[in-house]
Structure 1
Amino acid sequence: MNQVKQTDIQITCSDKYLLAATQYTPDNKVKGAVLIGPATGIKRQFYANFAIHLAEHGYGVITFDNRGIGESLDGHIKDCEVTLQCWGEKDMPAVLEQLKQSFPDTRYHLVGHSAGGQLIGLMPNAHDISSVFNFACSSGQLSNMKLSYKFSAHFFMNVFIPLSNLLFGHTKSHWLGMGEPLPKEVAKQWQLWCNGQGYVKTAFGSTVHRHHYDDLSMPSMWINAEDDQIAINENVADMVSVFKQLPAQTKTLKAENYGLNEIGHMKFFSRQSKPLWQYAIEWLDNH
């Protein structure tokens, strides 16, 4: 088992914005390098145990805070004009370039959590990624959700987000246990995309004019959990359909099969879910 060096770094985006990131470096030869794309409003520390596990198995890893989130928030959040689209077009590409610089001459992989997998088609350097392993990555389409969850999902997206933005100048998503506070334009775009079909596809031709959803063709694995009320099978299929040439395998996990009480939308990356991490290791080792 590799010893792991953990280093906090800053990454400079194409527009000079600075992102807070953490690099995990194995002490032996690197088998590959992994960009962990975070879910909406989730700080990089949430993925630390998982990143260490990957590095112990020989993978260089970088986790990061998207601009406007955690230590990548510059100034007051109500003054932050960042969008979801910007995360895919500027933040993720910059982190991938840092990954290539830190771990040269190897294969590069994306492990995407929710938005971290959805946004890959916006990356101008996405073709440098050899494979994609996504968890809880779906379109989040509200109309597909089961009735038992649909009301609360509609309330958050269509009542709480606009009301919070109006009153506070940003979305206080942390009040509802939905990660960090969100810049208002991130939340507005999230609301718009989840009310449509195909998530980011909603913005094709309006705010998104150039993308790679039509031509990405690296192998991909899409894992979701049976008890996830957001990334249900219908919404995973909806997101996969946006990628016109992407070979996609899918797998749905059932918590009790692994001695777990729940997996849901978030807990794949928790220390208690370590038995599930072998799926990621096996995928990376084979690609």
Structure 2
Amino acid sequence: MKTFNPDEITIDCQDGQQLAATLYKPESEVKGAVLIGPATGIKRQFYQSFASYLAQQGYGVITFDNRGIGESLSGTIRASKASLQCWGEQDMPAVLEALKSHFPGKSYHLIGHSAGGQLVGLMHNANELSSIFNFASSSGQLSNMKLPYSLKANFFMNVFVPLSNLFFGHTKSQLVGMGEPLPKAVAQQWRLWCNGQGYVKTAFGKTVGQHWYHELSTPSMWVNASDDDIAIDENVADMLSVFKKLKVDTLTISPQAHGLAEIGHMKFFSRKSEGLWQHALNWLEQHSKG
């Protein structure tokens, strides 16, 4: 794959928060425009190869760091007020508006990774998406997970997160291979939602007063990997139960069928997994208009 030179941009959210983002402009006619929603605590650089691939196929793309993560952290992480909820309510809508500004008059698509797909129903402008393609997006419900991974997941959420927040004022998730350090409220909400059913549904009528999970009727594809211990079929179904009108297709892919040693929760976006990207491209081609 040839080298692609994107542009670094800054995106302003409605509440004044600024986000670090990367803009990928195709050299050819723009077929559509894609917002890549990152997983919890994952920086935008992780999606660089995948975003470059989409741009070379004619799609405009924006990747970004959620507030409190990577270059979108302003001040100290202890002082960050970021939460999963504001990622969906503030950050993702702002990035979609930026996508519309850079690629006017096109079709707009979300490619969500884990939380990047789960939070779509908090976006006030989500109905402007022509399609949704999610990988490894599920409720992450701890009680559905299988042994031995469930022991590791429960330890991280219910022991490591509260202790790390108590002693350090944030979650040092990088110490256990769980992405970037997380602002306290992000980790607290993540823990609460994964201990419940339906992920964000846990917060309906509590911290979440308004949402669009019951209204969205967008065509969506939910892809998980057979060797993913988190986004197992039961948790994908649990997440989908929160949506009432969404048009849903599901697909489970196995590493063996694609000549890969592993896909898991993260490696769909790895350059080594480029053979998998055709799934996303086919979906975009089906739902795009130039």
Q: Is the structural similarity TM-score above 0.5?
A: yes
Measure the CA separation in 2 of the matches of 1:247 and 1:208. Answer: 23
Aligned counterpart, 2:273: 273
How much has 1:147 moved relative to structure 2? 1.9
Q: Distance in 2 between matches of 1:44 and 1:206?
A: 30
Pairwise CA distance, 1:4: 4.7
Q: Please report how far the alpha carbon of residue 233 of structure 1 lies from its aligned counterpart in structure 2 after TM superposition.
A: 0.3
1:155-234 aligned within 5 A: 155-234=155-234
- SS in structure 2 opposite 1:21? strand
User: d(CA) in 1 for partners of 2:196 and 2:152?
Assistant: 17
Change (3 A) 1:159 1:52: same
Match of 2:43 in 1: 43
CA distance in structure 1 between the aligned counterparts of 2:125 and 2:259, rounded to whole angstroms: 39
Compute the displacement of 1:5 (Å): 4.5
| Structure 2 match to 1:120 | 120
Give per-residue Cα distances to partners, 1:201-245, cap 9 Å, x unaligned. 000000001000001001000000000000000000000111100
Distance 2:164 2:81 in 1: 16
Quote the Cα distance in structure 2 between the aligned partners of 1:30 and 1:234. Answer: 37
Cα distance, 1:60–1:146 mapped onto 2, change above 3 Å? same
Task: Name the CA distance, whole Å, in 2 between partners of 1:70 and 1:242.
Answer: 30
Specify the alignment match of 2:258 in structure 1: 258
**Alignment-derived partner of residue 65 in structure 2:** 65
Indicate whether 1:153 and 2:153 are aligned: yes
Structure 1 partner of 2:103:
103
Shift of 1:82: 1.0
Unaligned residue ranges in structure 1 (runs of 5+): none
Tell me the TM-score normalised to structure 2 length.
Answer: 0.98
- Structure 1 residue 3: deviation in Å? 8.5
CA distance in 2, matches of 1:172, 1:114: 20
Distance 1:122 1:81 in 2: 18
> Which runs of 5 or more structure 2 residues have no equivalent in the other structure?
none
Name the stretch that deviates more: 145-154 or 127-136: 145-154
CA distance in 1, matches of 2:243, 2:212: 8
Matched with 1:6 is 6
Residues 2, 28 of structure 1: 8 Å contact kept: no
Residue 18 (structure 1) aligns with: 18
1:140 aligns with 2:140: yes
1:87 CA displacement: 0.2
CA deviation after TM superposition for structure 1 residue 81, in Å? 1.1
SS at match of 1:147: coil
Q: Deviations over 1:183-204 (max 9, x none)?
A: 0000000000000000000000
Partner AA of 1:193 in structure 2: W
Identity of aligned residues (%): 68
Structure 1 length-normalised TM: 0.99
Structure 1 counterpart of 2:38, one-letter code: P
CA distance in 2, matches of 1:147, 1:268: 23
2:77 is matched by which residue type in structure 1?
I
Partner residue of 1:85?
85
The Cα of 1:12 is off from its aligned counterpart by 0.3
Note the alpha carbon deviations across 1:39-76, whole angstroms, 9 max, x for none: 00000000000000000000000000000000000011
